[in-house]
Amino acid sequence: MTDVDLDTQAPAQPPTPRRGWPVVAVLLLAVVAFLAGGAGGAYQAKLTEVQKNDNASFLPASAESTVAANEAAAFVTVQTIPGFVVFHRDGPLTDDDRASIARAAKAVAEVPGVDATGMTPTQYSADGTTAAQYVPLVAKADGTDVTGDELAATEQQVMDAAKAAATAEVEVLPAGPGGLLVAFIDAFQGLDSTLLLAAVLVVIAILLVVYRSPVLWFFPLLSAGLALGLSSMLIYFLAKAGVVTLTGQSQGILMVLVLGAGTDYALLLISRYREELHGYENRFDAMIRAWRESAPAITASAVTVILGLLCLGFSELNSNKGLGPVAAIGIACTYLVMMTFLPVVLSLAGRWVFWPRIPRVDHAADLATHGLWGRIADTVGRRDRPAWIGATALLVVLFAVGIGSLDTSGLTSSENFTNTPDAVTGQQIYDEHFDPGTGAPAVIVTNADQVDAVMAAAAATPGVSTAPGSVCLQIDYAKLAQLAKLGMGAGATTAPAGCPPPALTVQPIDGRTVVNAVLADQYDSPEALATIGRLRDAVHAVPGADALVGGNSAATVDVQAASVHDRNLIIPIVLAVIFVVLAVLLRALLAPIILIATVVLSFAATLGVCGFFFTHVFHFAGADPAFPLFAFVFLVALGIDYNIFLMTRVREEAQRHGTRTGVLRGLAVTGGVITSAGVVLAATFAVLGVLPLVFLAEVGFAVAFGVLLDTIVVRSVLVPALSHDIGRPIWWPSALSRAER
């Protein structure tokens, strides 16, 4: 290969861009984006009101645990989330302690939002050091779901009441699914403050370095804020109407996605604007030319990400189905603001926004050929084959380093936190002193005429507790409360050992009844989840029972199974969609195949690095089954952006200078801006680590590392070197593959 001279001069008299209805349309949309985005800012804080963070809301209606839960709901007047208040001290509880615990139970029962009729007598551990009060939180009453904020407020009142009644020497902690769920909800309370503030500060710092201007950073950030406000308003009304499911995870991802992608689009537009200002005296002409030249790449990028995210609509999980449109709305609003409001406000502001590096009309193209990226492009051109082979080998090594350590079998609720909230500590104490399966039994809905056979099959299942009263018909708490109010006993009984008498159990409805089976292990442990599989096999085999197994453990099993299904289905669909977008954009078939292959290889390398870091550096217990899908969608959809930015400019240059020269010119021109964009996006996703949740920390790390890998290795070395080595055939079958320089 011979060296290629990249230096060039722009036309001394660049053609004046035509102005017409497109310019007017952009102006009108800019006004709409400003007004709507500003008004929408108030809805950002209100998004927590429409969040859903429980497993059941994630599952499709066809899941066995969902069907069982819907049937079981007919047997209770109030649907609850089980929880405990744990009382513990280092030595045996004293008489005063026990008296205070009794007062605490009465105080807790009076808290609004607690199902007092479902509370059972206080348990005391065998060693006398610990007591546990079962406190079910109302999750749904009269057909109305209780919001996450309301659950968190109820749990806080429960703990305040219990602590106020208990003696000072007794430690009072939450536990059980209710306590852990509320801890999970509380973890998202930093979304509107900690997460957003951290992300904004990171972006400001990077933009100050990139632009070297104390002024220019404000405009991309203001535009991103308007985009976030506009998307928050739309998502709030859609979630409130039940059109989409918004989770805390989705909201966190929305914020960093809008901020990161918006800054990326702004960097690309502003870079081209600065370049055109060297050729146009009139700043409005420069912006029109910059907008028209950068619009195809930014539009293709936004469309690719939106379509990739909407592919999550094929998911079985409602949370994934919700994330798709939530994030897609964020990208669409970001694109709208960055392509209307930002160019208008920059044009009106004038050249001074670039101070102190104000671009002057010197008729020299603002290429990076005289700096670092010019030298990188020259090196890639001279040693293209060793460069792409070496980059490929590096990615393969990174994949092999840690892929064997990546465990996506799932995390327990306690393992989901990067810190140790009180609910985790309380759960650990509870598991040490009581039957860990108590409070979150498997719920079996069966035909009433086969209930004895179903109970026998459940009791014989390994992993189901063998303690008396572990497999029983469900208690009718309304009857229990009524008898207690009247001061009457239960009467004569014929029931299995330890089970409540028939007078206190639910009566069949339409020939169906409910059985509760206490598991021997914590409800979301791997052992409990394996028990659910065995339990389902056992009760499904009972002839004529039509038995279904639900409950917290079963819901977790179904969520994990649906996550695996979604991963295997959606990843190929996303690849196919991206291929079509690239083929249309580049008018070629070979180039899209190469670009997708490089990004997939980068994704595989990222998984390998994640496996190593999650296990050996961060010491996480594992990863959620949904992690590979989330990482893939964001990495491939966002990673392909940088290849789009690069290859659209390469194609533009190739039409004038030939493919090999065009590759090097495209790399030289886009190197600085794309690298800056990658750093911004990586930094914003890394900020997810400020929330104390393992899943978001893992997704943030994966996207941040993967984006940097795409930016530094794939887009800077692998793609240009391989494209330069292949030459014109990379545009096959378009006419450009046969064109001479």
For 716-732, how does the pLDDT look when each residue is reduced to its tens digit (9 = 90+)? 999 999 999 999 999 98
Report the 10 Å Cβ neighbour count for 20: 8
Which residues share a beta bridge with 124? 131
What is the layout of strands, in order, in the sheet containing 78-81? 78-81, 137-141, 144-145
Q: Give the whole-angstrom CA distance, residue 562 versus residue 528.
A: 18
pLDDT(272) > 90: no
Q: Give the whole-angstrom CA distance, residue 56 versus residue 562.
A: 12
Instruction: Give the closest residue to 338 by CA, choosing from 291, 280, 402, 372.
Output: 291
pLDDT(616) > 70: yes
242 exposed, middle or buried (CB, 10 Å; 0-12, 13-18, 19+)?
exposed
Residue 74 is classified by DSSP as G
Q: Give the whole-angstrom CA distance, residue 642 versus residue 675.
A: 9
- Reading the block at residue 41, the tokens are 């800012």
**Amino acid letter, 735:** A
Residue 336's Cβ-side half-sphere holds a number of Cα atoms within 13 Å equal to 25
CA distance readout (Å), 501 to 123, 507, 583, 680: 20, 12, 70, 64
pLDDT(369) > 70: no
pLDDT range class, residue 483, cuts 50, 70, 90? low
Radius of gyration of the chain (CA): 30
As a residue count, the chain comes to 741
User: Between 1.10.3470, 1.20.1640, 2.60.40, 1.20.1300, what CATH number should domain 1-44+213-366 receive?
Assistant: 1.20.1640
pLDDT(592) > 60: yes
pLDDT range class, residue 366, cuts 50, 70, 90? very low
Name residue, tokens 């709208």: 336
Q: Give the whole-angstrom CA distance, residue 684 versus residue 203.
A: 7
Contact 594, 732 (CB under 8 A): no
Which residue ranges make up each domain of the chain? 1-44+213-366, 441-550
Q: Give the whole-angstrom CA distance, residue 607 versus residue 706.
A: 9
**Helical (H) or strand (E) element with 515:** strand 512-517
pLDDT(104) > 90: yes
pLDDT range class, residue 486, cuts 50, 70, 90? low
Q: Give the whole-angstrom CA distance, residue 637 versus residue 313.
A: 15
Q: Give the whole-angstrom CA distance, residue 702 versus residue 623.
A: 12
CA distance readout (Å), 303 to 36, 256, 297, 435, 585: 22, 18, 10, 53, 11
Residue 17 is classified by DSSP as P
Average pLDDT score over residue span 303-309: 89
pLDDT at residue number 10: 43
Which residues share a beta bridge with 464? 519
Least confident of 1-15, 60-74, 486-500, 655-669: 1-15
- Interacting residues of 291 by C-beta distance below 8 A, sequence separation 6+: 26, 269, 339, 343
Report the 10 Å Cβ neighbour count for 365: 17
Contact 227, 254 (CB under 8 A): no
pLDDT tens digits, one per residue of 446-457: 999 999 999 999
Average pLDDT score over residue span 20-26: 72
pLDDT at residue number 234: 93
Instruction: Give the closest residue to 579 by CA, choosing from 564, 591, 562, 567.
Output: 591
Cα angle for residues 595, 598, 604 (degrees, 5° grid) = 140
Tell me the whole-structure pTM to 2 decimals: 0.82
In terms of DSSP H, where are the helices of 241-282? Answer: 248-277
Q: Give the whole-angstrom CA distance, residue 447 versus residue 548.
A: 10
pLDDT(390) > 90: yes
Residue with the larger pLDDT of the pair 195 and 602 = 602
Contact 361, 281 (CB under 8 A): yes
pLDDT tens digits, one per residue of 650-691: 888 888 888 899 999 889 888 888 888 888 888 888 888 887
3-state SS, residue 494:
coil
pLDDT(741) > 60: no
Q: Give the whole-angstrom CA distance, residue 417 versus residue 689.
A: 11
Contact 315, 570 (CB under 8 A): yes
CA distance readout (Å), 130 to 127, 135, 172, 304, 668: 8, 16, 10, 56, 68
Query: Under the phi-then-psi rule, with left for phi > 0, alpha for psi from -120 to 50, and beta for the rest, what region is 119?
Result: beta
Q: What percent of the chain has pLDDT over 90?
A: 38
CA distance readout (Å), 235 to 197, 328, 333: 21, 10, 11
pLDDT at residue number 398: 95
